[in-house]
Structure 1
Amino acid sequence: MRAYTSKEELKDEIKKTYTKFIAEFDNIPEEMKDLRAEDVDRTPAENLAYMVGWTTLVLKWEQDERNGLEVKTPSDQFKWNQLGELYQWFTDTYAGLSLHELRTKLDTNIQRIYGMIDAMTGEDLFAPHRRKWADGATKSAVWEVYKFIHVNTVAPFGTFRTKIRKWKKLML
């Protein structure tokens, strides 16, 4: 997993990968958002719903901890061994929205993640054991907060961009 040396470097990488990812949806017609392509595991709407879901959770974890609440990762309703059910919940909750609404929600979440990064000290972001939710989310590994941000933004933006490009090649 990539390591970052500063908040700005992390935010720049999110911006770079997000900009490329979200631009892939520019020419997808709304009426095609739910069409499934062979060998592509998510429709365009499901792709965005997944990203909205995970970025919403990252923001919730941080907000809940700041509010003094006990944070249950990945969510109050699902455990780590129930990710398939969580992904289905993302689809059920968000994929019915229009592509414009999904893009707007994701953009809002990304802007809020930038704010979350800015509000943290460098130590909170890059040092271990600075958030209970980050410590509680893994059984044996020690993950700093930035790793959770990376895994729920930069990494899937790259992977999902490839998938949506393949979908477009087959469908458009």
Structure 2
Amino acid sequence: MSVPQTKVELLLAIDKNFNKLISYLDVIPIETTSERSMDGHAKGTKMSVRDLVSYLLGWNSLVVKWITSDAKGLPIDFPDTSYKWNQLGLLAQKFYSDYSELNYDSLIAELRAVKNEIVALIDERTDDVLYGKPWYKKWTMGRMISFNTSSPYANANGRLKKWARNNNINLK
């Protein structure tokens, strides 16, 4: 799928990639979701399916934080307070920890909720707000949303397919 250039395309990309992700997450046996047997977000690390969901939940929560801070006229700490873009491995570890107390079903429910919040925030904005001007450096708001929603969902889908193949799990 090409990079979204409009609000409609962004919403379609989020919907398509998220629905596929949920279809995979729904059939993974719960007893396998805590095994750290998938390549992690930092080089040389391993993560679990739970960690992957926590990672997506963390990034989606940041997107909501960025958009709501912007709407209030507040400065935005990209990517997050106390983290720089060259510390994304550390940020991933933070996300794993942040949501470690949630059970798998609650993680999925939280991910659905924050994704729905992002969709509502996108719906409130025009193409011009989303794609008409740079929002962070050279990137538009729509592109920053895509970087942290539909693109990671697609990446997660690929990771899950590979992990499932290696663990004899059928995601169909």
Unmatched tracts of structure 2, length 5 or more: 41-45
Report the more deviating stretch, 115-124 or 30-39: 30-39
Match of 2:77 in 1: 72
Is 1:53 the counterpart of 2:58 in the alignment? yes
1:33·1:44 contact (CA, 8 Å) conserved in 2? yes
Q: Within 1, Cα distance between the matches of 2:38 and 2:59?
A: 25
Residues 95-114 of structure 1, C-alpha deviations (whole Å, 9 max, x = no match): 44222111111111111111
Mapping of 1:1-172 within 5 angstroms? 2-37=2-37, 41-129=46-134, 134-135=135-136, 138=137, 142-171=138-167, 172=169
Question: 5+ residue gaps in structure 1?
Answer: none
Equivalenced residues, count: 163
Taking a change above 3 Å as real, the CA distance of residues 39 and 120 of structure 1, as seen in their structure-2 partners, is: closer
Cα offset for 1:38?
6.1
CA distance in 2, matches of 1:103, 1:118: 22
Q: Distance in 1 between matches of 2:100 and 2:24?
A: 17
Answer whether contact 1:20 1:161 (CA < 8 A) is retained.
Answer: yes
* In 1: Cα distance, 2:6 partner to 2:50 partner: 33
Cα distance in 1 for partners of 2:5, 2:148 equals 18
TM-score, length basis structure 2: 0.86
Q: Cα deviation per residue 1:72-92 (whole Å; 9 max; x = unaligned)?
A: 111112122211111110010
Question: What is the CA-CA distance between 1:68 and the residue it aligns to?
Answer: 2.5
SS at structure 1 position matched to 2:36: coil
Supply the distance in 2 between the matched residues of 1:95 and 1:169 (Cα, whole angstroms).
25
RMSD: 1.9
TM-score under structure 1 length normalisation: 0.86
Local SS of the residue matching 1:24: helix
Contact persistence 1:50–1:90 (CA under 8 A): yes
CA contact (8 A) 1:128 1:144 kept: yes
